[in-house]
Amino acid sequence: MVLADIGIGEIELNYDRREAVDLTYPYIIDDITFTSPPPKLYQTTSLFKPFDTNVWIWSLVMIAITSTLLRISSGTSNSEHKIQTIEDLANAQESGIRHLNITQELANI
């Protein structure tokens, strides 16, 4: 037999329990039970259910267009301005800052 000072939970009151345990008067008596149907098994198509078919089609079309445009634009860039080392990055930052300063000076004229 397990001894306990206190217990919390919904316990059905019956004669045997009343004899073994000094229970307080229950303040909730509920005969209603909430049930739900068992969950459906995992489906392989459940990943695609959040969006409509048109949304998925247009998303794939936009990904294809964007990746194609990025591929074309990276192939047409000037090779002498490609950043391949840390020094190239520093030079690009310096030239960008100079360009920004010139633009601000022209805007102030």
In a domain, 71, yes or no: yes
Domain count, the chain: 1
Comparison of pLDDT for 65 and 78, the residue scoring more: 65
Per-residue pLDDT of 16-46, as tens digits, reads: 777 777 766 665 666 676 777 777 777 777 7
In a domain, 18, yes or no: no
In a domain, 74, yes or no: yes
In a domain, 1, yes or no: no
User: Of 8-12, 41-45, 75-79, 93-97, which range is least confident?
Assistant: 75-79
Report the C-alpha gap between 43 and 88 in whole angstroms.
Answer: 51
pLDDT band at 105 (very low <50, low <70, confident <90, very high): low
Residue 12 token pair: 């059905």
| Mean pLDDT computed over every residue of the chain | 74
In a domain, 42, yes or no: no
Task: Indicate if the pLDDT at residue 1 is higher than 70.
Answer: no
In a domain, 14, yes or no: no
In a domain, 31, yes or no: no
Domain that holds residue 86: 48-107
* Residue 50 dihedral angles phi and psi, to the nearest 5°: -60, -30
Percent residues over pLDDT 70 in the chain: 56
Q: Is 73 exposed, middle or buried (0-12, 13-18, 19+ CB in 10 A)?
A: exposed
In a domain, 103, yes or no: yes
Residue 79 token pair: 């090779």
- Residue 106's pLDDT is 66
